[in-house]
């Protein structure tokens, strides 16, 4: 196209057009380039150069232009005014009936043909579509039009530095995150920066000015997209800044998300069919900050029923921060598997908020297999119940220099930045493998909240303790044994008592029960089939036997405790006999 254009022009006019072209920034004006300027910039009439060439000030003049020739070249100085980034060079063809889009293909008001912008079809600028980026105009339609104007194979939409107000959600792709695959992929939405740097001169900022569920919605199934160099400001109007749903092979970088009222970045795998998961994605230099209470910086989830989750994804140099907000979460991990974090920070400044939550309540055995390299997590929590538990997550170089809380849950394992291992008992070749002098009763010394059963492994069996039976669990407390939480049954009537007596272990079961009871607590009239907490006082570290006995009023059916799969961190006894099962619950050390 450019070769044809320049062939029609004199050398002076060609140089002038070359400066304009598809450049996002106009260089100089007619006077500065040596051409004669007629009238004022905003009011001068369209000018005719050599045969078949014209100059117009803006889009309004372009649409009003009626070239005398069947083909012509037109330079437009700007969309609204000279140098606003929306100008460019157009080729006029009187015979063309190409579908217009208001930016790269223009239909004149009276001219029969089309003005076609001299540019690549897969590289578009939102200012060509009328976006102002001045922090006052509503640029929603212009930005969406630019995205929609890309071919099905995708391309790049650039947003030059500025503040773009949007009043409704910008959508990329048209999939339904289920059976329907997006008809468009490969879309790249690129700004000049997220505004990280001090005194950033020209960041690209999207600001929500209307109520909306999400500022940008990536609608899958979709692949090979990119969103980069943008600050997303929810402005207390957008529930979510970035909603990513069923996507693969995508990249997100140099982004800031603030001012949302629910979730900053929502990462969701798709629905049926199976295999509609998020995979091979990368997140780099992302900052998400909770400015309002009860919000979440980033959420991961999927469709557990059809095994669609987020996995094989990498995060590098990211920060998920609850800031000063209350009851907020930095990162909420639900149905997620095998993703890695490098040099990421999960931060909170308020005790009511949490840096990261590992949540298994809706997805048993998940989250699982996540790895955190040189990351810091100021605080964390694990959400489980009797039938939904997490699997192991791994930490390498867990940061400890800013008062971060080192994980104590047995499924959160690793090594700190100072070289101290945590929750590594039972891992082959690691310290804390147990006391060999204990022989067959040797157990690793475990600290924090330690599971005494293996969750989904093995059948659940309950034992009626009111019938004179006993259940007991042998543990090796790394710190002071302070209590426990165990799954108990009262057979629907919430009546009865289970007593927990603690003995110092001595040689074997029978010998141990001849010793004194060191601590005791009871669960009284507890809710049927619930986790019941008990507290022990005055105990140190070492081997302890916790013995459960039951009692009920005359005529009552009884109370019971449950067992599940065995573990290597405790030993369970039924009526004094060792069994291959785990007492359903946890012991806790300080």
Helix (H) or strand (E) holding 5: helix 2-8
Least confident of 31-35, 417-421, 467-471, 503-507: 31-35
In the numeric block, the tokens 């909770």 are attached to: 290
Lowest mean pLDDT among 9-18, 49-58, 170-179, 218-227: 9-18
Q: Is the pLDDT of residue 557 over 60?
A: yes
Do the beta carbons of residue 452 and residue 473 sit within 8 Å? yes
471-477/542-551 β-pairing: antiparallel
Kindly report whether the peptide bond that precedes residue 157 is cis, defined as omega within 30 degrees of 0.
Answer: no
Question: Taking Cα atoms as reference points, which of 50, 48, 58 lies closest to residue 20?
Answer: 58
What is the token pair recorded at 251? 């990249």
Mean pLDDT of the chain: 88
Short-list 568, 546, 533, 408, CA closest to 479:
408
Would you say 304 and 363 are in contact if contact means Cβ atoms under 8 Å apart? yes
Residue 256 pLDDT exceeds 70: yes
Q: How confident is the model at residue 386 (pLDDT cuts 50, 70, 90)?
A: confident
Percent of the chain past pLDDT 70, that is, above it, reads: 88
Q: How is residue 166 written in tokens?
A: 């949007």
CA torsion sign for 176, 179, 184, 190 is positive
**Rounded Cα–Cα distance for residues 414 and 419 (Å):** 10
In Å, the largest CA–CA distance within the chain is: 112
Rounded to an integer, the average pLDDT of 482-493 is 94
CA atoms within 13 A on the CB side of 395: 29
Give bridge partners of residue 376 from the DSSP assignment.
Answer: 345
Pair 187, 227: CB distance under 8 Å: no
DSSP letter string, 75-99: EE--SSSTTSS--EEEEEETT--PP
> Cβ–Cβ contacts within 10 Å for residue 467, how many?
12
Are the CB atoms for 353 and 321 separated by under 8 Å?
A: no
> Which residue, 165, 275, 156, 166, is CA-closest to 213?
166
User: Is 445's pLDDT higher than 90?
Assistant: no
Question: Could you write out the DSSP letters of every residue in 419-463?
Answer: S-EES-TTSTT-S----GGGGGG----B-SEEESS-TTSS--EEE
Q: What angle do CA 173, 87, 117 make, to 5 degrees?
A: 60
pLDDT band at 458 (very low <50, low <70, confident <90, very high): low
Burial label for 480, CB within 10 Å (0-12, 13-18, 19+), is middle
Cβ–Cβ under 8 Å, residues 269 and 308: yes
Rounded to whole angstroms, how far apart are CA atoms 581 and 505?
19
**Interval 96-137: pLDDT, tens:** 999 999 999 999 988 789 999 999 989 999 999 999 999 999
pLDDT (tens digit per residue) in 408-444: 898 999 999 988 889 886 554 454 455 657 888 999 8
**For residue 178, what pLDDT is reported?**
94
| Domains in the chain, CATH or no CATH each | 2-119 (no CATH), 124-422 (2.160.20.10), 449-589 (2.60.120)
The pLDDT assigned to 568 comes to 87
- Can you tell me the mean pLDDT for 563-585? 92
* Residue with token string 């009262």: 490
Dist. CA 448–CA 588, nearest whole Å: 5
pLDDT at 200: 67
Strands (E), 312-400: 313-316, 319-321, 329-333, 339-342, 345-347, 354-359, 371-373, 376-377, 380-383, 393-398
Characterize 117-152 residue by residue with b for buried, 16 or more Cβ atoms within 10 angstroms of its Cβ, and e for exposed: bbbeebebbbbbbbbbbeeeeebbebbbbbbebbee
pLDDT value of residue 427: 55
pLDDT at 199 over 80: no
Q: Reply yes or no on whether the pLDDT at 27 is more than 80.
A: no
**HSE, side-chain direction, 13 A CA sphere, residue 268:** 21
Confidence category of residue 351, pLDDT binned at 50, 70, 90: confident
């Amino acid at each position: 196209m450019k070769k044809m254009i320049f062939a029609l022009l004199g050398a002076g006019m060609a140089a002038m057009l070359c400066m304009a072209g598809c450049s996002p920034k106009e260089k100089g004006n007619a006077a500065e380039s040596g051409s004669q300027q007629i009238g004022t910039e905003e009011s001068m009439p369209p000018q005719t150069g050599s045969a078949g060439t014209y100059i117009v000030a803006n889009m309004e003049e372009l649409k009003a232009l009626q070239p005398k020739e069947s083909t012509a070249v037109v330079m437009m100085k700007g969309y609204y005014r000279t140098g606003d980034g929306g100008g460019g060079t157009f080729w006029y063809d009187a015979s063309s009936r190409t579908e217009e889009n208001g930016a790269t293909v223009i239909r004149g008001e009276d001219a029969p043909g089309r003005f076609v912008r001299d540019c690549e079809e897969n590289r578009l600028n939102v200012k060509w579509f009328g976006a102002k980026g001045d922090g006052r105009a509503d640029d929603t339609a212009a930005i969406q039009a630019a995205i929609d104007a890309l071919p099905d194979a995708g391309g790049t939409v650039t947003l030059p530095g500025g503040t773009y107000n949007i009043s409704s959600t910008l959508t990329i792709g048209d999939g339904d995150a289920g059976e329907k695959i997006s008809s468009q992929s490969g879309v790249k939405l690129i700004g000049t920066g997220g505004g990280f740097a001090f005194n950033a001169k020209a960041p690209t900022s999207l600001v929500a000015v209307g109520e909306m569920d999400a500022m940008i919605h990536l609608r899958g199934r979709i692949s090979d997209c990119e969103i980069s160099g943008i600050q997303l400001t929810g402005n207390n109007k957008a529930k979510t800044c970035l909603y990513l749903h069923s996507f693969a092979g995508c990249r997100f970088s140099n982004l800031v998300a603030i001012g949302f009222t629910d979730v900053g970045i929502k990462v969701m795998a798709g629905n049926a069919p199976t295999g509609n998961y998020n995979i091979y994605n990368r997140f780099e230099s992302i900052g998400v900050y909770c400015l309002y209470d009860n919000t979440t910086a980033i959420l991961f989830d999927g469709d557990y029923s059809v095994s669609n989750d987020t996995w094989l994804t990498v995060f590098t140099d990211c920060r998920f921060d609850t800031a000063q907000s209350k009851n907020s979460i930095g990162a909420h991990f639900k149905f997620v598997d095998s993703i890695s974090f490098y040099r990421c920070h999960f931060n909170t400044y308020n005790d009511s908020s949490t840096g990261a939550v590992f949540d298994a309540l809706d997805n048993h055995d998940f989250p699982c297999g996540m790895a955190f390299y040189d990351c810091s997590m100021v605080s964390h929590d694990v959400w489980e119940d009797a039938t939904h538990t997490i699997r192991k997550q791994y930490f390498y170089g867990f940061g400890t220099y800013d008062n971060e809380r080192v994980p104590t849950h047995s499924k959160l394992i690793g090594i700190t930045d100072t070289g101290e291992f945590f929750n590594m008992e039972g891992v082959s070749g690691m310290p804390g493998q147990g006391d060999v002098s204990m022989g067959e009763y040797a157990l690793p010394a475990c600290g924090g909240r330690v599971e005494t059963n293996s969750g989904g492994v093995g059948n659940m069996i309950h034992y009626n303790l009111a019938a004179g039976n006993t259940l007991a669990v042998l543990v090796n407390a790394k710190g002071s044994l302070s209590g426990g939480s165990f799954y108990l049954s009262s057979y629907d009537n919430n009546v009865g008592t289970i007593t927990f007596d603690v003995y110092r272990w001595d040689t074997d079961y029978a010998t141990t029960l001849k010793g004194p009871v060191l601590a005791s607590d009871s669960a009284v009239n507890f809710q049927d089939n619930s986790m019941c907490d008990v507290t022990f006082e005055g105990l140190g570290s070492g081997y302890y036997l916790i013995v459960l006995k039951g009692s009920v009023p005359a005529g009552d059916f009884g109370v019971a405790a449950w067992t599940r799969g065995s573990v290597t961190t405790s030993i369970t006894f039924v009526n004094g006999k060792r069994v291959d099962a785990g007492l359903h619950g946890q012991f806790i050390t300080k």
